[in-house]
Structures are given as C-alpha cells and as structure tokens.
C-alpha cells in the first residue's frame, strides 16, 4: 500500500485561526484546536504590504493536524545512480539523497510517523510548502508595494518543522524541505559528512537559529529590563538536514561545516530566531503568546496616549497617533525628533537648508525627524508595559520600553556574512546608540 504523499494546497494548511471557527450552526461543535505556536517574519507590522494571501503572509499559525503527516528516518543505503533509484522515482516515498560523486550517493529513506506533524517553509509555491517566505526588503512594509528581489538567497525548500503530537511543547527544526516528489537532494558540492555510520549535511546558504539568551529571554511580562550597558546577544548556530546543531561556518556557504554543538538542540523555544538568508523568522510558542499583549491591547495603548491630547508646540494642533499602520492624517500626524525624543507635528520651523536635520523648538537640539507609527505585531513584544512609549531610530516605530531594549540587544544576520540590529516591524537598520529614543509628548 503506497505511503500517503504530503500534499498542502493551502486549503487544509492551518494558516488562519478563523478558518477553523466559521462552522455553520448545523455543525457539531468541534473541540478546540491544539496550537503549537506561530512563525512570524521580522520586518512586517502585522501583515504583508499587498495583504496576506493564502500561504504568503507575515505569520503562520501551526495547529495540530487532523491527521499526522510527519516522517522519520528508516534506512539508508549506497546507490550508483541516485536519480534512477527506486526511492527517488517513487513520488510517495520520502527520501534524502546525499550525492558523494557522479557514481555514488547515499539514499536515506523516511517512513510515516504517526506521532509528528510536518510543516515546510521555503520560497517555492509548490504544494509541499505550507508557508511561502520571500526575501524581506527593509522598510517595504511601510511603502505598500510588492517585494521586488532579483536574485533570492532563500532556498525554495528551506526547512521543515516537526511538531510532537503527544507533547505540543516539542517542536523541532531541520534544514531543507521535501519537494513535490517527496525528495531532498544534496548535490556533490553540498557540505556533507558521515559520522558513526550516519550521514548528514548542510544546505547551500544554511538555516541558522538562535535560541533566546537567559539574559534577554523573550518571555512576555517576565522579560528583564535591559540596561544601556546590555551586551548585544549573538549565539547563532546552524541546523543540519538531520537536525544537528553546529557552530557557524566561516562564511554563509563555506564548504567546511562548523564544530558540533552538543549543548544546543534543534527544539524551538519561545523567542527562537530562524534565519533563512534573506528573511528572519521568530518562533513564538502558544504558551509565550498567551502571556503576550494582544493587538487590542496595543491599540488601547495608543488610545491612552491620544486621550492625553498631545499638542504640537509650534502649530498648537492636537496630535493623534494612528491606530493602524499607513492610515494617518497629515495635519495630526506626530513626528519625533530622533536626538531628543520631543514629539511634534509637521512644521517648517527649524528646518535647515539643504539638510534633513531640524532644530527642535523645545530644546534646540539638532537632528533628524521621523514619522511615528505604532508597532502592531504583538509577537514582537516582550511585555505589556504602561503607555511610556519609545521609538526605534530612524524608522519611528513605537513600542514599549522593554520591547525596544530587547530588539536593540539582538544581532541578526544581515547579508551573507554580517550581523546587525534592526527594527522588527520594518527591518530598517537601526542608527546611533542605543538605537531608540524615549518619546516626550507635550
């Protein structure tokens, strides 16, 4: 009897919470779904610029599937012609082919695992991919246009996630995903090795992960308030096709693998970051999200500030922080002076000729200004703080104190061989020290 092929055309993929709750009154009430967690792409403030559609969205909710579709390693063997071997030709047989040379490859067969649910992430729009992820362009989310990347560095079948159906807290990540024929191919040039009779390998640009550090744990209200001397956290590792954890290679696609890490696992933790070389994803567990602020709460924070009726000291007009990203009234739109934090309306006082800098009429400090907008993606918040808001420099996205201090303490892969800090709501690289400013409303 053929093994069931992993198909996901988007209709049965657990993408939207509301998809599962729109039952008619004639249907029997269904038990609540088990939620493993959410994957959220850094750089988008609640949705993709043209709008979330199908499997292309800013976040992906992972629910326990109606039927298990996970797979587990079963056997491996050597073949001379991998592309004509039975396991590769059988489109219902999950297998990974490690090409050693033109005349030799090791095939690792996988068998169905009734104890796990598999979710796949990548750039491809083919049916096995549950969550289609494209390259993130800094600031694009605010401009409302489609993503335009000429040459993507994200793999078409970037990674797969296996969630334990009996213990929803155990969710593991593996590099590479199975294609439409249920195969993963690691070519001759791919980094691979054999250890104790088992074979493993790395994908071209790699899948990097960083678990939250104890000093900067992303854990809702319990997150510590980081001081200005907080060290920037940087403990990125690479996950292999078989789920092993290794130190980073010398460069993103170097041939030599990093040293094995025995004290780090591929089990995702609340706040684990996953970098696909072109997009960075944040994993939030169901438990972590339950302690995090909701979108309604964030909008209430905005309402509390607006209820204080902040006034522009120059135009003397009332300022109103927009509740939704991109919806603003220019006359009431607040701006922040990034050197001092004073919030004002749009005016020409203090504008320097042939310069983007202005002189703040409140304290006479010179610097750039930025339009203020609320960070509305709840997954990026580490607390539900009081309405003492801070803004990232230079983009002007507002968030709570602990949230801005958390994200300015985390180095994230930038390009193919560097790391930097950026705003989680728009992926704009942060400027100056400490990369944020406390807002002072008049």
Q: Is 379 exposed, middle or buried (0-12, 13-18, 19+ CB in 10 A)?
A: buried
Query: Which of 138, 112, 3 has its CA nearest to residue 424?
Result: 138
For residues 266 and 258, what is the distance between their CA atoms, to the nearest angstrom?
Answer: 16
The pTM for the full model equals 0.88
pLDDT of the residue at 52: 76
pLDDT of the residue at 348: 76
Query: Who contacts 113 (Cβ-Cβ below 8 Å, separation ≥6)?
Result: 68, 70, 71, 72, 162
Task: Please say whether the beta carbons of 106 and 98 come within 8 A.
Answer: yes
Task: Please say whether the beta carbons of 237 and 266 come within 8 A.
Answer: no
For residues 100 and 188, what is the distance between their CA atoms, to the nearest angstrom?
Answer: 6
For residues 210 and 196, what is the distance between their CA atoms, to the nearest angstrom?
Answer: 27
Per-residue confidence in pLDDT tens, the chain, 442 aa: 444 444 343 334 444 443 444 444 456 677 789 999 999 999 999 888 877 788 989 999 999 999 999 999 999 999 987 677 777 778 889 999 999 988 899 999 999 999 999 999 999 999 999 999 999 988 765 554 455 556 889 999 999 999 999 999 999 999 999 999 999 999 888 999 998 889 999 999 999 999 997 644 565 444 444 333 445 567 999 999 999 999 999 998 899 999 999 999 999 999 999 999 999 999 999 999 999 999 999 999 999 999 999 999 888 889 998 876 555 577 889 999 999 999 998 887 767 777 778 899 989 899 899 999 999 999 999 988 777 899 999 999 999 999 999 999 999 998 777 899 999 999 999 999 999 999 999 8
**HEC readout, 321-375:** CCCCCCCCCCCCCCEEECCCCEEECCCCCCECCCCCCEECCCCCCEECEEECEEC
For residues 142 and 336, what is the distance between their CA atoms, to the nearest angstrom?
Answer: 17
pLDDT of the residue at 18: 38
pLDDT of the residue at 219: 54
Residue 115: other Cβ atoms inside 10 A = 14
From residue 52, alpha-carbon distances to 15, 60, 132, 240 in Å are 10, 10, 11, 30
pLDDT of the residue at 3: 43
């Amino acid at each position: 009897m053929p093994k069931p092929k992993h198909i996901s055309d988007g209709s049965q993929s657990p993408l939207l919470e509301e998809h599962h709750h729109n039952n008619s009154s004639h249907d029997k009430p269904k038990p609540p779904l088990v939620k493993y967690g959410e994957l959220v792409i850094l750089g988008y403030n609640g949705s993709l610029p043209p709008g979330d559609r199908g499997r292309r969205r800013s976040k992906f909710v992972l629910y326990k599937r109606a039927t298990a579709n996970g797979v587990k390693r079963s056997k491996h063997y050597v073949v001379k012609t991998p592309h004509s071997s039975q396991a590769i030709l059988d489109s219902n047989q999950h297998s990974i082919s490690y090409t050693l040379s033109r005349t030799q490859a090791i095939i690792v067969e996988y068998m169905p695992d009734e104890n796990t649910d598999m979710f796949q992430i990548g750039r491809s729009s083919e049916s096995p991919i549950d969550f289609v992820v494209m390259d993130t362009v800094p600031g694009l989310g605010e401009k409302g246009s489609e993503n335009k990347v000429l040459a993507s560095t994200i793999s078409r079948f970037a990674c797969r996630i296996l969630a334990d159906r009996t213990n929803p807290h155990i969710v593991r990540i593996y590099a590479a995903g199975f294609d439409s024929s249920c195969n993963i191919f690691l070519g001759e040039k791919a980094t691979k090795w054999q250890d104790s009779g088992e074979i493993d390998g790395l994908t071209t640009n790699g899948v990097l992960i960083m678990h939250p550090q104890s000093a900067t744990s992303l854990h809702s209200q319990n997150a510590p308030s980081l001081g200005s001397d907080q060290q920037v956290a940087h403990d990125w590792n690479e996950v292999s096709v078989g789920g092993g954890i290794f130190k980073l290679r010398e460069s993103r696609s170097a041939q030599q693998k990093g040293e094995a890490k025995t004290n780090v696992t591929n089990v995702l933790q609340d706040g684990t970051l996953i970098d696909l070389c072109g997009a960075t994803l944040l994993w939030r567990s169901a438990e972590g999200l339950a302690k995090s602020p909701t979108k309604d709460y964030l909008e209430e924070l905005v309402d509390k500030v607006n209820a204080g009726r902040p006034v522009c000291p120059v135009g003397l007009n009332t300022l109103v922080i927009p509740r939704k990203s991109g919806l603003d009234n220019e006359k009431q739109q607040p701006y922040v002076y990034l050197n001092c934090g004073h919030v004002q309306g749009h005016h020409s006082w203090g504008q320097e000729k042939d310069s983007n800098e202005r002189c703040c009429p409140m304290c006479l400090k010179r610097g750039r200004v930025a339009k203020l907008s609320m960070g509305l993606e709840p997954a990026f918040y580490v607390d539900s703080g009081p309405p003492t808001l801070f803004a990232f420099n230079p983009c002007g996205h507002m968030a709570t104190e602990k949230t801005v201090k958390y994200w300015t303490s985390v180095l994230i892969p930038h390009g193919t061989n560097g790391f930097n800090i950026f705003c989680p709501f728009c992926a704009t690289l942060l400027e100056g020290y400490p990369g944020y400013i406390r807002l002072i409303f008049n």
